[in-house]
């Protein structure tokens, strides 16, 4: 048996990515991690997320690994010609600009599907075609109008989720659509041989996220309450503030776990109390039960509670900050974080940053999908790709001189 590793699932698939920010780049990230050759087409000055500060400073280095970068001015005819040559033999084209922007550049679905009938064209938008499609959308916009901010915040204080959930999941669904289109095109027994148009959107993604709350209202007639004021399905399912101000999430979600919990902490009278005999009865007793438990558990430290819950198989979680995860023992032991170089122009730093980044959250043949290429410097692969397209060194130099294309050395 050969020791050679099997190729990655999308080995041999070429993706041309015309994206920025988070949603579109997430799609390319997933396809790239799965083995596709992803070419990121950037303007001469680069994807604007390379230069973001504050909460956007991690965008580029997070969502652009396993990609090549070619810097091209598509406002010039010679730049558009380069992109069309790249697309000519590509399998997937991915974009996430405003409705109509690609068509104005000559990169709309109708034109590109004629150029390359096998092409799968993936669009990531704020809204699917309909009354809202011309609106400008952001993750915050669709969280507010799609009910997620209402469900996250306290009554009267809608609050967006603390991560770009719709951008990231919208990119995921774009990738899922691309994979489905590739499967239909290339299926051994009934492949069509033709590409397809795939559309993914922020708003519809958000609606999918709150579907369970919509269906709760449909089947019960009762509206779902925001998370901070919801009626919990379990009595003990909350954050506890304990000794020295530490916080920990603790849960007891079955009658068996209630018995284990009471035995562990020496609460025989609570175990024997007929008012607390079942989970539903304990939920009804939360008004007086939870203050009592908060008082009794308040003398413990977070590590003590975590150790006691861990030893007995009870659910718990320390309240971690994102930066704490760099030292998470499980991630370190299982290879969930991989070494990566964040380019200086992508992190806001003056020099490259050597760090670690989370991998896609699944295993393939028992292994995590690797980082094969660091997030690229702007135009890092321009020269190589132009040569691959048949441009001579002299022609490439002329393109650089005319500002049609750029590389780090040009």
* pLDDT in the model for residue 3: 46
Residues (pLDDT < 70) of the chain are: 1-4, 345-350
* pLDDT in the model for residue 323: 97
**Is residue 203 classed exposed, middle or buried when 0-12, 13-18 and 19+ CB atoms within 10 A define those classes?**
buried
User: What are the residue boundaries of the structural domains of the chain, listed by start?
Assistant: 14-210+335-406, 232-322
> Which pLDDT tens digit goes with each residue over 225-248?
998 887 788 999 999 999 989 999
* pLDDT in the model for residue 349: 56
* pLDDT in the model for residue 2: 38
Architecture of the structural domain at 14-210+335-406: 3-Layer(aba) Sandwich (3.40)
* pLDDT in the model for residue 350: 66
* pLDDT in the model for residue 188: 76
Tell me the CB-side half-sphere exposure of residue 402, using CA atoms within 13 A: 16
Task: Tell me the CA end-to-end span of the chain in Å, nearest whole number.
Answer: 47
85-88: long-range contacts at Cβ-Cβ below 8 A with a sequence spacing of 24 or more?
85/389, 85/390, 86/16, 86/39, 86/41, 86/385, 86/389, 87/16, 87/112, 87/115, 87/116, 87/119, 88/115, 88/116
* pLDDT in the model for residue 351: 82
Got the DSSP string for 131-199?
A: TTTTS---HHHHHHHTTHHHHHSPTT-----SS-HHHHHHHHHHHHHHHHHHHHHH-TTT-----EEEE
Return the closest-CA partner of residue 280 out of 258, 248, 303: 258
Got the DSSP string for 206-245?
A: HHHHTHHHHHHHHHHS-PPPPGGG---SSSEEEEEE-GGG
The CATH class for the domain spanning 232-322 reads alpha beta
> Which pLDDT tens digit goes with each residue over 314-344?
999 999 999 999 999 999 999 999 999 998 8
* pLDDT in the model for residue 31: 98
- Which residues have CB under 8 Å from 74's CB, separation 6+? 41, 43, 80, 83, 105, 107
pTM of this structure: 0.93
């Amino acid at each position: 048996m050969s020791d050679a590793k099997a190729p990655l699932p999308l080995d041999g698939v070429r993706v041309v990515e015309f994206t920025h920010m988070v949603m579109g780049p997430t799609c390319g990230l997933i396809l790239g991690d799965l083995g596709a050759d992803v070419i990121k087409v950037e303007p001469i000055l680069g994807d604007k997320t390379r230069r973001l500060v504050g909460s956007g400073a991690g965008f580029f280095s997070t969502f652009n690994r396993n990609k090549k970068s070619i810097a091209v001015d598509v406002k010039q005819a010679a730049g558009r010609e380069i992109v069309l040559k790249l697309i000519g033999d590509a399998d997937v084209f991915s974009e996430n600009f405003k409705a109509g922007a690609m068509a104005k550049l000559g990169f709309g679905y109708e034109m590109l599907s004629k150029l390359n009938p096998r092409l799968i064209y993936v669009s990531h938008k704020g809204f699917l075609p309909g009354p809202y499609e011309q609106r400008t959308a952001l993750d915050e916009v669709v969280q507010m109008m799609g009910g997620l901010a209402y469900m996250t915040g306290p009554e009267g204080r809608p609050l967006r989720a603390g991560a770009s959930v719709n951008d990231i999941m919208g990119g995921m669904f774009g990738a899922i659509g691309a994979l489905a289109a590739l499967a239909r095109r290339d299926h051994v027994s009934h492949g069509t041989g033709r590409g397809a148009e795939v559309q993914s959107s922020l708003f519809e993604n958000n609606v999918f996220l709150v579907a369970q709350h919509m269906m709760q209202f449909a089947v019960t007639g009762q509206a779902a309450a925001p998370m901070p004021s919801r009626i919990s399905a379990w009595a003990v399912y909350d954050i506890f503030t304990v000794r020295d101000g530490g916080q920990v999430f603790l849960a007891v979600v079955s009658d068996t776990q209630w018995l284990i919990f009471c035995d562990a902490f020496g609460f025989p009278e609570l175990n024997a109390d007929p008012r607390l005999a079942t989970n539903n009865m304990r939920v009804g007793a939360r008004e007086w039960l939870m203050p009592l438990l908060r008082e009794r558990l308040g003398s413990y430290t977070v590590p003590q509670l975590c150790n006691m819950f861990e030893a007995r198989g009870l659910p718990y979680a320390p309240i971690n900050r994102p930066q704490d995860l760099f030292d998470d023992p499980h991630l370190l032991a299982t290879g969930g974080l991989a070494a990566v170089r964040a380019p200086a122009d992508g992190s806001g730093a003056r020099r490259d940053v050597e760090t670690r980044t989370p991998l896609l959250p699944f295993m393939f043949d028992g292994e995590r999908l690797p980082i094969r290429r660091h997030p690229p410097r702007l135009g890092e692969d321009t020269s190589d790709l132009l040569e691959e397209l048949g441009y001579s060194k002299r022609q490439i130099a002329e393109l650089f001189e005319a500002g049609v294309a750029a590389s780090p050395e040009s």
